Structure 1
C-alpha cells in the first residue's frame, strides 16, 4: 500500500479524482461521502491556508481521501472516505492515522456521515470514541394525495413585529452584514462560527443558490427592538436573523431524484434570541419550500441543542438519520 500524500491544495486533476470518488461512495453507501464545506474546499481551496488534503493512491488510482480543516484553538475537523472497491485493505486506518499525525496540539475529530456500520467499526478498531452527533430530521410537505400539507402561520411576537421586517436577501448589498450577523449568531459553533465573506460568495456561486429563498430579518429600529444599538456596537450589523433555504436536485436520499428542500441555516443574533424570531424565520422558509411544490424538507441539528430540536419537533419534523463525529481516545 502506498503512503498517504498530504498537500495544502489540490490541482485540477486531483480535485476531479476526489469528487469522482465521493460520487462513487455516495452511490454505494446512500449517504453523502463529503460535506458541502469539504466539497467547496476541494474545488476552491482554503484562502486562509487552513486546509490539508490527504490522498492515498494504490496502483495509480485514488484509493482513499481525507480532508482536515485546521484551527488554532480547536481540534482539526476532518472527513475521510475509501473507494468502494478498495475497502477492507487498511486504507481507512492509514488515512485516520495520517490525520492524527498531521493534527495540531488540540488533536483531530472525524465526521462519519449516515451512521454507517463500516465507519463505526473503523472507529472501534482504532479505539476512537463518539465526540459529537448531528441529527438529520425531515418533514413531509406534500400529503399522499399530492396536496400541500398545512403549516402554522408565522406569527411574530410584539418585539419582532415592532423591531424587524423579513425580506429576501439582496445579493451585492447584504453580504457584509450577513457575515457579521452569522458570526454573532454562531460565536460558539465549531463550523458555522468561522464562515467568511469568501465562504458566502462561494455558496452564492453554486447552482442551488436562490436569493428569494434566503430570508433575512432586517432591524427597523422600532420601539420594541431588543438592544439594537448594543447590537450595532457589538458588530452584529443590521440583520437580526436569517434563514437560508436550499434545494437538493437529487432528492438527498428522500426521493428517487425529485428535488427536496432543506432548512440550510437558521441564525439569530444574540440580542434577538428568545423573541420567537427563529421560529418565525424557520416557518417562513419551510412554507416557501412547500409552496414551490417540494415533497420534503430536511435539516441538520446538533443532537445536544435540545431547544432547537424541540422547536423543529413542534413544527412536525422527525429524526430520520444522523452523522457522528469520532475522536481518538486519550
Structure 2
C-alpha cells in the first residue's frame, strides 16, 4: 500500500477520548498481525487514562489514518528516556518506523534513548542497529503447562499465605514491593496510583494476589507476594482476545530479610496452583535473560523459553 500523503507526526502530552480510542484500536490491529502487543502494560494503562505528566505521545497519521504511535517516558534521569513504538501493518516498509524513532531521538537529551521491542522482530532489530542502538537488556518469556503436576508447597515456619485485601493491604504491599525491587526502579518505585490503576482492571482478582505474611493482627508483616494475572478475560469496554485465557506469574517479590529461604519458589508454586484452580491450562512469565538463578528455578518448575523482548540503547 502506498502512503499518500506522507505521515505527519503530532506530539501530545495528553490524550482526548477520540485519540485514546484510535490508539487502542491501532494497538489491537498491530497485536493481531504480529501476535504480540507492541506496548507493555504500564504504557497501555496510562494511555487509557489519557496520559500522564511525565510522558510524551507521538501520533503518526497519513490523512485521517493512524499509521504509527510511540510512547516516550522521560522520568528516568539516570538511565535516560525510554520509548516503545509501533507501525500499522498496512503502512510498513515506507520509512514510518524510522521517522518515528528519529523523532524520538531528537526529543531525547543528547540523543540518549532506550527503545523496547517486543517479540523476535528482525525489522525492529535492523532499524535499531542502523540508528546506532545496541542491545542493553533481554527479557525471556517462558511458559509452562498447568496440566502437569505441581510440586508440593512447603512454607518456612511462621509463614502463611493469604489473599490480598484491597484498601487494607495497599501500604504494606507497596512497602515490601519497594524493598524487594530496590535495585529495579521500574518496579520498586510503584506508587499507590500505580497499584490502583491495576486494581481497576478487569483481570484483577484479589484471590490471585497472594501475600506471604508472618504474625497476627497489628504485628502482621508482609514478607513476600505472588501477584498472578489472567490474560483473555473479557473486559467491560469490550477488549477482545485471540486466545484462550492464559495465566501469568505477574510479579513475585520477596523482602530482602526473607530471601534465600525458598519462599519465592513456594509462592510461585502456590500461584500456579491458584491459576490451575481457575481452569487455566497454561502460564507464562517474564525474566531477565541474565538472571540465570531465576531461570534455573523456573526451568525446575517446568517453564521453557517461548519468546524474547529486547531493550536497545544509544
**Which one of the candidate residues 304, 308, 312 is aligned to 2:290?**
304
Q: How does 1:160-239 map to 2 (within 5 A)?
A: 160-162=156-158, 164-220=159-215, 238-239=221-222
Question: Are the counterparts in 2 of residues 244 and 264 from structure 1 also a CA contact under 8 Å?
Answer: yes
User: How far apart, in 1, do the equivalents of 2:11 and 2:79 lie?
Assistant: 20
Q: How does 1:33-48 map to 2 (within 5 A)?
A: 33-45=38-50, 47=52
User: How far apart, in 2, do the equivalents of 1:116 and 1:109 lie?
Assistant: 16
User: Structure 1 residues 104 and 118, CA, compared in 2 at 3 Å: closer, same or farther?
Assistant: same
Question: Are the counterparts in 2 of residues 41 and 51 from structure 1 also a CA contact under 8 Å?
Answer: no
Question: Are the counterparts in 2 of residues 250 and 256 from structure 1 also a CA contact under 8 Å?
Answer: no
**Which one of the candidate residues 258, 262, 274 is aligned to 1:272?**
258
**Which one of the candidate residues 64, 81, 103 is aligned to 2:108?**
103
Is residue 73 of structure 1 aligned with residue 56 of structure 2?
no
Specify the alignment match of 1:64 in structure 2.
68
User: How far apart, in 1, do the equivalents of 2:13 and 2:254 lie?
Assistant: 34
User: How far apart, in 1, do the equivalents of 2:93 and 2:132 lie?
Assistant: 17
Deviations 1:47-69 (A, max 9, x none): 5x211111111112211100022
* 1:257 Cα deviation after fit: 2.4
Deviations 1:196-217 (A, max 9, x none): 1101111000000010011011
User: How far apart, in 1, do the equivalents of 2:202 and 2:242 lie?
Assistant: 20
Question: Are the counterparts in 1 of residues 143 and 306 from structure 2 also a CA contact under 8 Å?
Answer: yes
Question: Are the counterparts in 1 of residues 203 and 233 from structure 2 also a CA contact under 8 Å?
Answer: no
Q: How does 1:103-122 map to 2 (within 5 A)?
A: 103-104=108-109, 107-122=112-127
Let me know the Cα RMSD of the aligned residues: 2.0
2:268 aligned counterpart, secondary structure: helix
Deviations 1:88-110 (A, max 9, x none): 11111111112122224682211
User: How far apart, in 1, do the equivalents of 2:211 and 2:35 lie?
Assistant: 33
Deviations 1:11-66 (A, max 9, x none): 1111111111110011111111211111111111455x211111111112211100
User: How far apart, in 2, do the equivalents of 1:62 and 1:109 lie?
Assistant: 24
Specify the alignment match of 1:232 in structure 2.
none
Stretch deviating more after TM superposition (96-105 or 183-192): 96-105
User: Structure 1 residues 50 and 106, CA, compared in 2 at 3 Å: closer, same or farther?
Assistant: farther
User: Structure 1 residues 94 and 106, CA, compared in 2 at 3 Å: closer, same or farther?
Assistant: closer
User: How far apart, in 1, do the equivalents of 2:79 and 2:54 lie?
Assistant: 12
User: How far apart, in 1, do the equivalents of 2:301 and 2:272 lie?
Assistant: 10
User: Structure 1 residues 173 and 104, CA, compared in 2 at 3 Å: closer, same or farther?
Assistant: farther
1:191 aligned counterpart, secondary structure: helix
Stretch deviating more after TM superposition (296-305 or 56-65): 56-65
2:157 aligned counterpart, secondary structure: helix
Specify the alignment match of 1:146 in structure 2.
none
User: How far apart, in 2, do the equivalents of 1:72 and 1:129 lie?
Assistant: 20
Question: Are the counterparts in 1 of residues 170 and 192 from structure 2 also a CA contact under 8 Å?
Answer: yes
User: How far apart, in 1, do the equivalents of 2:49 and 2:242 lie?
Assistant: 30
* 1:323 Cα deviation after fit: 0.5
Specify the alignment match of 1:152 in structure 2.
151
User: How far apart, in 2, do the equivalents of 1:55 and 1:244 lie?
Assistant: 33
User: Structure 1 residues 130 and 54, CA, compared in 2 at 3 Å: closer, same or farther?
Assistant: same
